[in-house]
Amino acid sequence: MSRELEIVEKLVLGIDPTGRGEALRTPKDPALDKARAIYYEQLKRVCKQYALTEVQEPVSAGRQRESRAGERWTITEDNRLIALWEASPKVTTTELSDKLGRTRTAIITRLVKQGVFIDQQMAMLADNARMEASGQEPYWSSLTLQIKRSQPVALLCKSRENAGKAWTPEGDRLLRTYWHAPERLTCALIGLQMGRTRDAIIARACADWCSTGS
């Protein structure tokens, strides 16, 4: 299912899913865009349900997960990481490391990259809080938390300031500006700039395509 989600996400974003990274040359058809968006949202819900089941089935003590440390992250892995993290407030980087074959630092870095957290410090604090809530000792030391900072302090104030708020015409115009910028910003970075989640950016972009056909 993760593979299907990866393909549909690329289609929704207008990217050739064959791996060449080229823009799709498809007709501007609102019905087609709407179908893609609906299928994408349905797949996301199914993947989240699967992730919840996976969280409830910990890796057996005698089974070693294949290490993928140092390898490039795929869209499939990014979606799985986010789904696993959001599936339960009890999930920590300990479980994610076992399931994904990545180091805990790599997982923290990727959660930031995908826009789940504003910077590494916030991600580490959230991870520590989850560990403490489950009776574990915090993994990230105070010294590490002081030196790990991946985003300018000014961006911290933006964080999720618009999360859950209704979209305005001004917000839609700003989204289009970011979306069509020559820098080709990722959805996570656009969300960071607009104070919204990556999923909210994708959903709004899909809705915009369905209503305007562009």
Say if residue 156's pLDDT is above 50: no
Handedness of CA 125, 67, 81, 94 (dihedral sign): negative
| The pLDDT of residue 23 | 67
CA atoms of 198 and 60, how far apart (whole Å)? 33
Q: What is the arithmetic mean of pLDDT over 127-145?
A: 84
pLDDT digits (tens, 9 = 90+) for 51-99: 555 555 555 544 455 688 888 888 778 888 888 888 788 899 999 999 8
Structure tokens given for 177:
């500006």
Looking at every residue in the chain, the average pLDDT score rounds to 75
Residue type, 79: N
| The pLDDT of residue 179 | 82
CA atoms of 197 and 115, how far apart (whole Å)? 6
pLDDT digits (tens, 9 = 90+) for 34-58: 777 777 777 666 666 655 555 555 5
